[in-house]
Chains A and B, each alone.
Chain A
Amino acid sequence: KNEVEQSPQNLTAQEGEFITINCSYSVGISALHWLQQHPGGGIVSLFMLSSGKKKHGRLIATINIQEKHSSLHITASHPRDSAVYICAVLSSGNTPLVFGKGTRLSVIA
């Protein structure tokens, strides 16, 4: 079993829909990252969370440490949101991130 599980693996949405991507992990963590990867491979860090909730524009990330679960929400989705969204956890300090397999999102106009 992977340490970091994401769902769904693939998601197709109509423009304007509210989108939720889920991440569950099995290890103790010091932080969780949500990353966005566009075609072409570039990775952008969207959020780093260790508790609670963060919001940036139309993106919202939440984490429940007790339940070992995080969600990434996109409100009013747009075709430019189409990308692979990756959840990654950091167990401590400078240890490498452990990645989920990603969720491929396609938003159709």
Chain B
Amino acid sequence: GAGVSQSPSNKVTEKGKDVELRCDPISGHTALYWYRQRLGQGLEFLIYFQGNSAPDKSGLPSDRFSAERTGESVSTLTIQRTQQEDSAVYLCASSLAGQGNGYTFGSGTRLTVV
């Protein structure tokens, strides 16, 4: 596609439920990143993929968070047993392999846990 697409754009879920967030990167971008931005705070790194493998998972805040990527394309970020502190905008970005350029962000998924 022309840009990085994320779905859903908004998600309201009850505490304790699982949610799945989806990211479709730009075609040909082998690097894919997930970031999180809580209300009024800066961006924080969660995980990045090179191809289908995740060399750096250091930002995942707890074992309730997991992510996968298939076909060097779509990635899903899963949050199990959601908590109110998980409420945030989850942003996905992709870039060309081996380069710092072409970094493109999706418009994010706004997750609200009630």
Task: Give A residues with C-beta under 8 Å from B.
Answer: 30-31, 33, 35, 41-45, 48, 50, 86, 88, 90, 93-102
Chain B: interface secondary structure? strand
Work out how many contacts link A and B, with CB atoms closer than 8 A: 59
In Å, the complex CA distance between A95 and B99 comes to 10
B110 CB contacts on chain A under 8 angstroms? 41
Q: Please name the residue on chain A nearest to B39 by beta carbon.
A: A41
A50 CB contacts on chain B under 8 angstroms? 100
| Chain B residues with a Cβ closer than 8 Å to the other chain, count | 26
In Å, the complex CA distance between A2 and B18 comes to 33
A88 to chain B, nearest CB (A): 8
Question: Judging by beta carbons under 8 Å apart, are A96 and B48 in contact?
Answer: yes
A61 to chain B, nearest CB (A): 14
Question: Judging by beta carbons under 8 Å apart, are B107 and A41 in contact?
Answer: yes
Q: Does B14 sit within 8 A of A, measured CB to CB?
A: no
Question: Judging by beta carbons under 8 Å apart, are B100 and A48 in contact?
Answer: yes
B101 CB contacts on chain A under 8 angstroms? 31, 48
| Sample (21) of A-B pairs whose CB atoms are under 8 Å apart | A31-B100, A31-B101, A33-B103, A35-B105, A41-B91, A41-B110, A42-B107, A42-B108, A45-B103, A48-B100, A86-B43, A93-B100, A94-B48, A94-B95, A95-B48, A95-B56, A96-B33, A96-B45, A97-B43, A97-B45, A102-B42
